[in-house]
């Protein structure tokens, strides 16, 4: 939100300098992205403050934190009894409030210099006197509006509905857009605009416009966000719809806009207000004990009440009535945050933490994993991450006995029923996919958990590192052995690993002569083997593939 300084001074009798205000706002209210002699740009990122997307909301905030005087008030809105513009709202959930006013006898001209300055300081270009009114009202009240040229609306009949299949619209930027479940403003024949995002070209205000249909509405924030993202139109109007609007503010904005058009010579001849136009008062309970507990400072009850009253809240005993413009206040903690910032975070003294400090977390394991990954990457291997379960294809092709695996009681699909008890089968799947994509030499590794069933206890979870290698040779195990030695920081020529023939190969998963248990310093740490040619062929692999799988704890 870019705040015009000259406009702000019209709304607030500031009792401090602009320089002091710029220094104070980040301490009491909101961060500032940029400031110059004409404007202050508020940093709205991370703030759910719809009220600060309007000059009136910013003025209220500035008055609260500076004890200045506010030069505006909430006036009672009363619209005259006039003929109605025909309006149909097909889905009240997507459009709970829709108001339209018909204004005649207008003349499109250059805007006043004061209007142009307000718009320019706020980062919006002037278009013409009729269109500029809608932008000025949006900036002052935070309520987006749109003016349709009445000549472009067939029979002056407005319909609010979802888009139809294969429907299209040409928006004000001249682009024709394919619609997909978007909320539209239409007449009986054509789409007039993307609701809350951008108007259509066919009903655009031109130099010859004399009669407009002025729209002020509240649309579903989620619907507006999706439409804005889908069509790449992050407009100022869409931003405000997404943050949320209030009915009280809408009626005030509509009344102010009509008065501005009447000052230009326009005449209100018809008006329609659709929906429930009353904001429901919101009451939140606030206790002194919770205030002091969360803030950590004993703030007197009178100061708590005074802080909230400055921000527009009213407090009776422990019940706080939230002002209609503060949509972000819902729970007690929200109110306490308001009290804390008005008190001043910088005024809250630091205190020593009570109790014993937490024990230092042992970093041996994560540091070892990090270094192991770095070593393998430096050796030219690529890290992969596969799922913690076997696919049905892997189970079938490797002829695993599912009763030897851990079954998930509530799997998300039939492909995720059984947890893996080794890493290398999933690596074999990855090798096969890479071969189909044209790779010839493949060296990959994964570090992750496997899940081993226990007869009378919970499954055992243990970390392993597994490497799969296919280098086009007749014996890829030789290169894999050298990689294993480098992991152990040993010289391959010194027989860093003692390879013991593994006679256990019931499913013939591995080559009968190239299947070994790996012993290191008298301790079995894992296995190294070449996968049986019959199995790799099932995965669509013609070359020889070697695998290594080692327990991480054994390496540490």
**Four-CA torsion 268, 279, 12, 1, nearest 10 degrees:** -90
Strand (E) or helix (H) holding 549: strand 546-551
Q: Is the pLDDT higher at 12 or at 415?
A: 12
The pLDDT value given to residue 552: 93
Residue pair 157/185 in contact by the 8 Å Cβ criterion: no
pLDDT(328) > 70: yes
Mean pLDDT of 522-544: 89
Residue pair 71/172 in contact by the 8 Å Cβ criterion: no
The pLDDT value given to residue 46: 78
The pLDDT value given to residue 439: 87
Mean pLDDT of 63-87: 92
Mean pLDDT of 38-46: 90
pLDDT in tens, 123-143: 999 999 999 999 999 999 999
pLDDT(267) > 80: yes
| DSSP result, 35-55 | E-SSEEEE--TT---GGGGSH
Confidence of residue 191 (pLDDT cuts 50, 70, 90): very high
Count of other CB atoms within 10 angstroms of residue 422: 18
| DSSP result, 438-498 | T--SEEEEEEEEEEE--TTSPPEEEEEEEEEEE-SSS-THHHHHHHHHHHTT--GGG--SE
The pLDDT value given to residue 95: 96
pLDDT(312) > 90: yes
pTM of the model: 0.68
C-alpha distance from residue 208 to each of 224, 449, 498 (Å): 31, 72, 92
* SS3 letters across 145-194: EEEEEHHHCHHHEEEEEECCCCCEEEECCCCEEECCCCEEEECCCCEEEE
To the nearest whole percent, how much of the chain has pLDDT over 90? 76
Confidence of residue 360 (pLDDT cuts 50, 70, 90): confident
Mean pLDDT of 206-223: 95
Mean pLDDT of 306-335: 95
To the nearest whole percent, how much of the chain has pLDDT over 70? 99
C-alpha distance from residue 169 to each of 174, 191, 256, 328 (Å): 10, 6, 31, 35
How many whole angstroms separate alpha carbon 415 and alpha carbon 397? 14
Q: In what order do the strands lie in the sheet with 498-501?
A: 382-383, 442-452, 460-470, 546-551, 523-531, 510-520, 498-501
Mean pLDDT of 283-302: 94
In sequence order, what are the beta bridge partners of 154? none
The pLDDT value given to residue 494: 66
pLDDT in tens, 385-428: 999 999 888 888 888 888 889 998 888 888 889 999 999 999 99
pLDDT(44) > 90: no
In sequence order, what are the beta bridge partners of 100? 215, 272
Residue-range domains of the chain with CATH = 2-70 (3.30.56.10), 86-274 (3.50.40.10), 282-347 (3.30.56.10), 364-555 (3.30.930.10)
pLDDT in tens, 229-254: 999 988 899 999 999 999 999 999 99
Q: Average pLDDT, whole number, for the chain?
A: 92
Residue pair 315/309 in contact by the 8 Å Cβ criterion: yes
């Amino acid at each position: 939100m870019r705040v015009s300084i000259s406009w702000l001074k019209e709304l607030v009798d500031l009792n401090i300098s602009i320089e002091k205000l710029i220094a104070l706002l980040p301490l009491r209210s909101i961060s500032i992205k940029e400031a110059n002699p004409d404007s202050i740009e508020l940093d709205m990122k991370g703030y759910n403050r719809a009220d600060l997307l309007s000059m009136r909301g910013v003025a209220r905030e500035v008055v609260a934190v500076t004890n200045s005087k506010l030069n505006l008030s909430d006036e009672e809105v009363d619209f005259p009894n006039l003929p109605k513009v025909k309006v149909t709202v097909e889905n009240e959930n997507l459009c709970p409030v829709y108001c339209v006013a018909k204004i005649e006898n207008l003349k499109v001209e250059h805007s006043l210099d004061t209007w142009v300055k307000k718009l320019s300081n706020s980062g919006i270009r002037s278009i013409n006197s009729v269109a500029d009114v809608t932008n000025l009202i949006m900036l002052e009240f935070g309520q987006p509006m749109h003016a349709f040229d009445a000549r472009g609306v067939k029979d002056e009949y407005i319909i609010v509905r979802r888009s139809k299949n294969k429907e299209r619209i040409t928006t004000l930027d001249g682009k024709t857009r394919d619609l997909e479940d978007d909320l539209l403003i239409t007449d009986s024949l054509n789409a007039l605009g993307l609701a809350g995002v951008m108007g259509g070209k066919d009903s655009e205000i031109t130099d010859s416009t004399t009669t407009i249909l002025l729209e002020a509405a509240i649309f579903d924030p989620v619907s507006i966000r999706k439409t804005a993202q889908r069509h790449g139109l992050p407009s100022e109007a869409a931003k405000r719809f997404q943050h949320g609007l209030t009915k009280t503010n809408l009626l005030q904005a509509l009344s102010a806009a009509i008065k501005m058009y009447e000052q230009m010579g326009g005449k209100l001849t018809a008006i329609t207000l659709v929906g429930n136009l009353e904001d429901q008062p919101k009451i939140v309970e606030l206790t002194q004990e919770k205030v002091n507990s969360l803030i950590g400072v004993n703030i007197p009850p009178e100061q708590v009440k005074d802080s909230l009253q400055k921000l527009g809240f009213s407090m009776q005993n422990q019940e706080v009535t939230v002002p209609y413009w503060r949509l972000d206040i819902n729970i007690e903690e929200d109110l306490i945050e308001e009290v804390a910032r008005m008190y001043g975070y910088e005024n809250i003294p630091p205190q020593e933490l009570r109790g014993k400090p937490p024990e230092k977390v042992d970093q041996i394991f994560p540091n070892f994993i990090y270094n192991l990954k770095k070593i393998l990457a430096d050796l030219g291997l690529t890290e992969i991450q596969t799922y913690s379960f076997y696919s049905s294809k892997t189970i079938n092709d490797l002829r695993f006995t599912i009763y030897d695996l851990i079954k998930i009681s509530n799997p998300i699909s039939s492909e995720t029923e059984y947890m893996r008890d080794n890493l290398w089968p999933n690596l074999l799947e990855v090798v096969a996919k890479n071969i189909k994509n044209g790779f010839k030499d493949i060296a990959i590794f994964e570090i992750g958990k496997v899940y081993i069933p226990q007869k009378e206890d919970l499954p055992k979870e243990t970390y392993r590192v597994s490497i799969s290698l296919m280098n086009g040779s007749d014996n890829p195990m030789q290169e894999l052995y050298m990689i294993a030695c480098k992991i152990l920081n040993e010289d391959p020529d010194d027989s860093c690993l003692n390879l013991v023939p593994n006679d256990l190969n019931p499913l013939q998963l591995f080559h009968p002569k190239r299947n070994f248990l790996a012993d290191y310093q008298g301790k079995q740490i894992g296995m190294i083997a070449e996968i049986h040619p019959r199995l790799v062929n099932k995965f669509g692999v013609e070359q020889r593939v070697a695998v290594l799988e080692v327990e991480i704890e054994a390496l540490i």
